Homo-oligomer: A and B are copies of this chain.
Amino acid sequence: MTDTNTNTNAGTDEGTRGELTGFSVNQMTVKQLPLPELVKGLVGLGVPGVGLWREPVAEFGLEATARLVRDAGLAVTSLCRGGFFTAADAAGRARAIDDNRAAIDEAAVLGTDSLVLVSGGLPPGSRDLVGAREQVAEALAELWPYGAERGVRLLVEPLHPMYAADRCVVSTLGQALDLAGWFPAEWVGVCVDTYHLWWDDQIAVQLDRAGREGRLHRYQLADWVTPLPEGVLTGRGQLGDGAVDFRWFGAVVERAGYTGPVEVEIFNDGMWARDGQEVLSETVARYREHAL
């Protein structure tokens, strides 16, 4: 498995819709849409890929979801999310490993080679960042062979540093690559999201490195808008509404040799409150306007 585009058909829908080749929308962007409506909307817009989340997939049924997207000809560009490896005790860490094995199984059933991992924050009451990061490394060591047997890559996703305490102790692409570097590039890569990494003055250097090291396996888009909402979880911006220069970022990603899908993943209370199909159409239009 050496091709970043393996196991997706996000590049097969040519013709008038060829410009959306490789494009994908993560279902959390329009979480108000039930899966069948999401799939229908994407197909209608000529979007060839979809990113899925475990909880709504489980709700609809794993096999039923796999059948639905396969029959619609959609590529599952990623499954979000595994991870949350850090825990205060061994029992907690073991539960996380079990849960991630289940996530790998689910990814395989859904036909995606990419399981996105949010590492987890500091265990409750802990201030030991180094120790938490060691727990993440140990979990990856335990899990990657399980993923390899099932054709599922583990993708470490660095999250914005504002999540370091409570969600993810991996905060930069450089750090994610240092961590992934202990494991085979075919089975442990990185997921790059503009929302989390746009601010980093080292991002171009590290994207180039990610390409050279063969670990750049998923690319997600969301814009950075201010002011941030309380809790800072649901304030990601629609493409074009914020500070991210998507054409610049995309050019660096392309120069790094990335040929895989480009997936929009936005968590935004305002967008969730609107008509889902309208948001889907807007997202495609914004992608064309700001990122294509």
Q: Is the CB of A243 within 8 A of B162?
A: no
Q: How far is the CB of A197 from chain B (nearest CB, A)?
A: 9
CB-nearest residue of chain B relative to A249?
A: B127
Q: Which residues of B contact A174 (CB under 8 A)?
A: 202
Judge whether A165 is part of the interface by a CB distance below 8 angstroms.
yes
On whether A232 and B243 interact (CB within 8 A), knowing A129-B199, A162-B162, A164-B199, the answer reads: no
Q: How far is the CB of A200 from chain B (nearest CB, A)?
A: 7
Q: Is the CB of B171 within 8 A of A199?
A: yes
Q: Which residues of B contact A244 (CB under 8 A)?
A: 127
Q: Is the CB of A229 within 8 A of B226?
A: no
Judge whether A122 is part of the interface by a CB distance below 8 angstroms.
yes
Judge whether A245 is part of the interface by a CB distance below 8 angstroms.
yes
Chain A residue total in the interface (Cβ 8 A): 34
Interface string of A118-143 (1 = CB under 8 A from B): 00001000011100010000000000
Lowest 9 A-B CB distances belong to which pairs?
A164-B199, A127-B245, A165-B243, A230-B230, A162-B162, A161-B199, A227-B231, A175-B201, A166-B226
19 CB contacts below 8 A, A to B, read A127-B245, A129-B243, A129-B245, A160-B161, A161-B161, A161-B162, A161-B199, A161-B200, A164-B198, A164-B199, A165-B226, A165-B243, A171-B201, A172-B200, A174-B202, A175-B201, A228-B230, A228-B232, A232-B232
